[in-house]
Each structure stands twice: as structure tokens, then as C-alpha cells.
Amino acid sequence: MEEEKKLEGHSEENSYIRMKKFKFIMLIFLLVFSTAGITLIALSFGDEKAVSVAIPERKEFSKLYEAYDMLDEKYYEKVDHKKLIDGAIAGMVKALDDPYSDYMTKEENEKFQESISASFQGIGAEIQELNGEIVVVSPIKGSPAEKAGLKPNDKIITVDDKNIQGMSANEAVLLIRGEKGTKVTLGIQRPDNHEIIKMTITRDEIPINTVYPEMLENGVAKIQITTFSKHTYDDLTTALKEMEDKGMKSLIIDLRRNPGGLLDQAIGIANLFVPEGKNIVQVEYRDGTIEKTVAKGGKKINVPTVVLIDKGSASASEILAGAVSETVGIPLIGDKSFGKGTVQTADNFEDGSNVKYTMAKWLTPDGNWIHKKGIEPDYKVSLPEYANLSYIDPDKELKLSSASGEVKSAEEMLKVLGYKPGKIDGFYDTDTEKAVKTFQKDEKLKENGILTGETTVKLMNSLTEHIQKNDSQVKKAIEVISKEK
């Protein structure tokens, strides 16, 4: 490969390559990149004959070859040729200024494939690179990331104190993921808040269970879809059968914090609701060609249905939400969705690396492009402010006379849970200490009035349980669905 690069690099001197004389016969195959694609040229050499072969000149590559040769010959240390090539390709893709297009090395590609398989080890969060920053799209349900309090739109500034600004999403993933039981510390910045929150998360096995059914009161079935992986459609049909056997009279599909996934899975699920012959999604290519995917026949879900969305609902989630909203009029409830209206594909190289790039944009059944705009719900209902309280590091010790933003978060959590921490001002006074002691007593923990370790974890988990029991978006969904029966 190195020799091939050098041969092509001399094309600016002459568009012909003059080969030396050989005393034996040999056959060389050169792969020459042309505007039409890859051309295979066979060169045959014999005894005393010199052969000249024309090669189409690519002047736009001469600068690239020159830079490669310059570094290879003049850099003060020996360079890694593979890294140079990987870097050149990565830079080319980055120049597209598209957060959804990436060059993945073999290692990065393997991590990506893990994320859509049965399980992987890490913290369990979907991230993306946006304007040079690593942003959380959504944590996976039940993952260490969710339990720690990671939220959509959180910016990850550091990983184990290493600044990751300017990194690609794939580079960041390699730093964040790791073996089960190991810890990683993220420096998080929330929207409209310049304070860096240090969040230490213990990595775990992240099962890709994507469908979570439960039967609520009065025959209302709620099924949460957390992402669209290889088995989501099959798991959903199994869950629907389970809910039908339990007397399902109406259905809530929960797509909140679902960052998307495989397009075919979203289309298959949409087909359960969209009438035969109607559009599910339209894909528009760069030449203006539009490819429509229409619903097929087969089993359809006919019970009254609503769909929950929020700012963490992206990509395939938005395809499903847009399809059922525009074709069947299924109400959408919650917050405006994320707004990702493009489709990606990946081409592999022989060494296991690949390029993932945007190859089209997708439109809703009615031809709307929701990219960077999101989908507005029919009923806008947000969770209460306390659902967005900042994470408290369990490794820190908050006690009498402590003062910080984390103390203020703790005071607000205690108040929401029915305790009396006194003034919510970020200062750990005697009222705060008394409230912590009462909380510890109720939870059968050591009553020392210090917020750390198990007490901190239990406080945050109690708040999560409170939010789930008092889910304003689910309550609105039940209200809306009861009127449709």
C-alpha cells in the first residue's frame, strides 16, 4: 500500500509511470481511483522491455500525497503510516460538518456493532458530536448513566479529567466504555449552566432490552421502547400479545429518551398502526429522487393509542411518531422531539474500519422534514422542574457548613420527598442536617446527618421513583386515551 501511494504521488511530474527492466515475467495489479470509481489495471513486464502505462491524473490528490510524503520523510520521528491514513480519512469526513457522519477504525466499528447487539459493557448512553462538543442524546433505561442522573442535552466536557472537546463521538465512546465494575468520571455541563458537574459512574453490562411492557389500571397498557435494535419489533409483538392476554383496552407507546436505532425496526412497528397503502416514511436522495415506504397488510393494532415523546426522542423514534400521527391521527404527548431527519449508512473497508455517512434525508408521510426542528406534540406536557435536578456525587461528603450547588440539589430533593431542609440556598445548615437524619431513619440507614455514599444514592433513587409515580406525561396520556374509548 505504501509503494502504491508513492507511485501515484509522482503523477504530477508526468502522467505516465515508466517501469524498469526486469529479467523475469511478473504481473502487477494497481488499483487506480478515478472519477468513475476504482479501475483495475494489469501491467505485464518481460525481459528487456520497458513499459509505459497511462494513469488518469487526479490533481486534487497531489496536495494530499505531498503532505503524506512530507511527514513520512521529514517528521522528527518515524510516523505510523496507518495512523496517517486513518487521520486523513477521518479529517475528510469531519470536513462534511455533519455530526452523523464518522470514520470508524476497526476498534471503533466493533464498539458500534456492540451497541446494536445483545449487550455491551459501559455506562449505557447514546451520545453525538455536535459543533465540536459531545452531547448526550439519551441514557438507556435502567443503565448506570440513567441511574446516575445523566440527561438528554448534557454536554460531556471531560472523561477522567481528560478534555474531550473536539473529539468525534466514536473517540469519546472508546474513552467512556470499559469493563464491568470499573469507574469513569464524567465532567458534565447542563444547558444554561456553566458549572461543571463531576459524575462518577460504575460501568456495567448493558443489556439491550428495548421493550418494557406494564399493565396500568382500567386496561391501559403502557409499553416503553428504549431504542430500536435488531430484535425490537419481535419483542414488541411479544409484549403486545402479553398485554392483550391481560385485557388491554388502550395503549400508551412510550418513546421518551429513545435515541433511535435501526430504520427497518421502526418501519416494522409503524406498520402495526398505519393503514395498508399509506406512507410510513419517505427517503429523499441528493438527486431529488424520493423513495416511499408504504404500509403493508397484516395485523394492525386497533385499540385507542397515544404516543409519548420528549427531547430525547430522536431519529427512528421520530419516524414512528410522525408516521402514526400523520396517517392515523394518534395523539403525541410530552415535549418537542430531538429533530434528526437524516439517514445514515456504512461502507466497510477490508481492515474492519468503515465510513458511516449521511446518504439521504427522511420525510414524514406528508413530506415534512423535521431535521433540527423536531416534532411538536399535540399535547405539550413537561415533567416538573425537579425532574431536572443536578446529580450529586456519592463520593463527596456533604455535611454541616458545606456550601455548593450539590447541597442545593439535595435540599430540593428532600423538599420534594416531603422532608423539611429549611431554606433552599445551597448551604448545609442544621435544618438540612435534621432533614437528612429523618430521611436516613426512614430508609433504615446510619443516622449521622451526612449526605454521602449510600445515603446520596438512596436520595436520588427515591426522587426517581417519585417522578415515575407522579409522571405528569403518563397522567395526561391516560386522560387523553380515556376520551378516545
Report the catalytic residues: 315, 326, 340
Residue closest to 131 by CA, chosen among 111, 153, 147, 115: 153
Radius of gyration of the chain (CA): 28
Instruction: Judge contact between 188 and 196, C-beta under 8 A.
Output: yes
Neighbouring C-beta atoms of residue 263, cutoff 10 Å: 19
What contacts 24+ positions apart, CB below 8 Å, involve 5-14?
A: 5/65, 5/68, 6/69, 8/32, 8/55, 8/61, 8/65, 9/62, 9/65, 9/66, 9/68, 9/69, 11/55, 11/57, 11/58, 11/62, 12/57, 12/59, 12/62
Give the integer Cα–Cα distance in Å for 325 and 313: 15
**In a 3-state reduction of DSSP, which class is residue 458?**
helix
Handedness of CA 75, 76, 81, 82 (dihedral sign): negative
73-94 burial code (b ≥16 CB/10 A, e <16): eeeeeeeeeeebbbeebbeebb
Instruction: Judge contact between 40 and 56, C-beta under 8 A.
Output: no
Residue the block writes with cell 481528560: 162
Give the integer Cα–Cα distance in Å for 400 and 427: 8
Query: Residue 63 has which C-alpha cell?
Result: 496536495
Q: What is the DSSP letter of 28?
A: E
Instruction: Judge contact between 188 and 150, C-beta under 8 A.
Output: yes
Give the integer Cα–Cα distance in Å for 127 and 116: 14
Q: How many CA atoms lie within 13 A of 466 on its CB side?
A: 17
User: Dihedral angle at the C-alpha atoms of 144, 150, 154, 157, nearest 10 degrees?
Assistant: -50
Residue closest to 338 by CA, chosen among 318, 322, 358: 318
Query: Residue 1 has which C-alpha cell?
Result: 500500500
